Structure 1
Amino acid sequence: MATTTLTQPATTNPKPTQPKAGARVLPLDGLRTLAIIGVVLYHLHVPGFSGGFVGVNVFFVLSGYLITSLLLKEQRQTGTIRLGRFWVRRVLRLYPTLLVVVLAAVTLWPLVGDYTYNDLDAWPAAFVALTYTGNFARAYAHLSQGVFAPGWSLAMEEQFYLVWPPILSFLLWKGFRRRSLAWFGAAAVVASCALAFFLYATPKGIATPDIYFSPVANVAPLMMGCVLALALTHERARAFFAGRIGSTSAWVGFVGIVLIAILIGNSRLIGDDWKNEPSFFGLVLPAVGLATTLLIAGVVSRPTLVGSFLGVRPLAWFGRNVSYSLYLWHMIVMALLDPFVAGLTGKFVMLGAAMLVAVGSHFVIEKPFLTIKKRFEPSSWSVERKMPAEQALTLEAKQESTNQTSVQSLKV
Structure 2
Amino acid sequence: MQQVRSQQTGKRLKKSRYITGFDGIRALAVVGVIVYHLLPYNLQGGYLGVPTFFVVSGYLITDLLLQEWEQNGKIDFWGFYSRRLKRLYPALVFMLVGTGTYITLFERSLLTNLRSIITTNMLYLYNWWEVGHGQSYFDRFNGESPFTHLWSLSIEGQYYLIWPLILIAMILIIRRKKVIAYILLALAAISGLLMGVLYTGPDALNRVYYGTDTRMFSIVFGALLAIIWPSTHLRKNISGGSRWTLNVIGILSIGVMAVMFFKLAGQNTFTYRGGMFIMAVVSTTLVAACAHPGADINRWLTNPVFAWIGTRSYGIYLYQFPVMIFYEMKIQDIADHPILNALIEVVLIMVISELSYRYIEKPLRHYHYKQLGRSITEFVKPNSQFGLKRLWMLPALGLIGICLYGSAIAPTKA
Report the TM range for the smaller structure's normalisation.
Answer: 0.7 to 0.9
1:25 to 12, 19, 23: 19
Q: Give the match's secondary structure for 2:365.
A: helix
Shift of 1:237: 8.0
Gaps of 5+ in 1: 1-19, 266-273, 376-412
* Deviation by residue 1:75-131 (Cα, 9 ceiling, x = unmatched): 1111111222211111111001111111111110043554xxx68333232222222
Aligned to 1:296: 287
Q: TM-score, normalised by structure 2?
A: 0.76
Aligned to 1:108, what secondary structure does the other structure show? helix
- Give the equivalent residue in structure 1 for 2:221: 224
Q: 1:157 to 1:280 in 2, by over 3 A?
A: same
Give, in whole Å, the separation in 2 of the partners of 1:119 and 1:57: 30
User: C-alpha displacement at 1:302, in angstroms?
Assistant: 3.4
C-alpha displacement of 1:331? 1.5
Contact (CA 8 Å) 2:195, 2:272: kept in 1 or not? yes
Q: Which has the larger radius of gyration?
A: 2
Task: Compare 159-168 and 335-344 and name the one that shifted more.
Answer: 335-344
Correspondence 1:363 to 2:333: no
Residue 212 (structure 1) shift: 1.7
1:60-71 superposed matches below 5 A: 60-71=54-65
Aligned amino acid, residue 85 of structure 1: G
Q: Residue in 2 aligned with 1:386?
A: none
* Structure 1 match to 2:386: none
Partner of 1:346: 341
2:231 and 2:291 in contact (8 A); partners too: no
CA contact (8 A) 2:54 2:219 kept: yes
Aligned pair in 2 of structure 1 residues 220, 28: CA closer, same or farther (>3 Å)?
A: same
Alignment partner for residue 326 of structure 1, among 308, 313, 316?
316
Counterpart for residue 139 of structure 1: 131
The code of the aligned residue for 2:65 comes to L
Q: State which of 104, 108, 111 in structure 1 corresponds to 2:106.
A: 111
**In the alignment, structure 1 residue 97 sits paired with structure 2 residue 94:** no
By how many angstroms is 1:48 displaced? 1.5
Question: 1:37/1:243 Cα in 2 relative to 1: closer, same or farther (>3 Å)?
Answer: closer
CA distance, structure 2, for counterparts of residue 233 and residue 24 of structure 1: 13
1:9-408 alignment runs, 5 A limit: 21-109=15-103, 110-112=105-107, 114=109, 120-142=112-134, 146-174=145-173, 176-204=175-203, 208-233=205-230, 243-264=243-264, 275=267, 277=269, 279-320=270-311, 322-338=312-328, 339-340=330-331, 342=334, 343=337, 344-372=339-367
C-alpha displacement at 1:314, in angstroms?
Answer: 2.7
Report the more deviating stretch, 36-45 or 230-239.
Answer: 230-239
Report how many residues are paired.
Answer: 341
User: Quick one: which amino acid aligns to residue 92 of structure 1?
Assistant: K
Shift of the 358–111 alpha-carbon distance from structure 1 to 2, 3 Å rule, reads same
Deviating more after overlay: 72-81 vs 295-304: 295-304
1:209/1:275 contact within 8 Å kept: no
CA contact (8 A) 2:100 2:114 kept: yes
Tell me if the contact between 1:112 and 1:335 (Cα under 8 Å) persists in the aligned partners: no
- Provide Cα deviations, 1:290-334, integer angstroms capped at 9, x if missing partner: 1111111111113545433311123113211x1111111121222
Where does the alignment leave 5 or more consecutive residues of structure 2 unmatched? Answer: 1-13, 137-143, 371-414
2-side partners of 1:317 and 1:237: how far apart?
27
Give me the whole-angstrom Cα distance separating, in 1, the residues matched to 2:192 and 2:310. Answer: 28
* Paired residue type of 2:119: F
SS at match of 2:18: coil
Instruction: Measure how far apart 1:165 and its partner are.
Output: 1.1
Q: Distance in 1 between matches of 2:89 and 2:230?
A: 31
Q: Helix, strand or coil: the match of 1:49?
A: coil
- Coordinate RMSD, CA, aligned: 2.7
> Given residue 118 of structure 2, which amino acid in structure 1 is its aligned partner?
A
* Displacement of 1:45: 2.8
Cα distance change on mapping 1:358 and 1:236 into 2, 3 Å? closer
Distance 1:234-1:160 versus aligned 2 partners, 3 A rule: closer
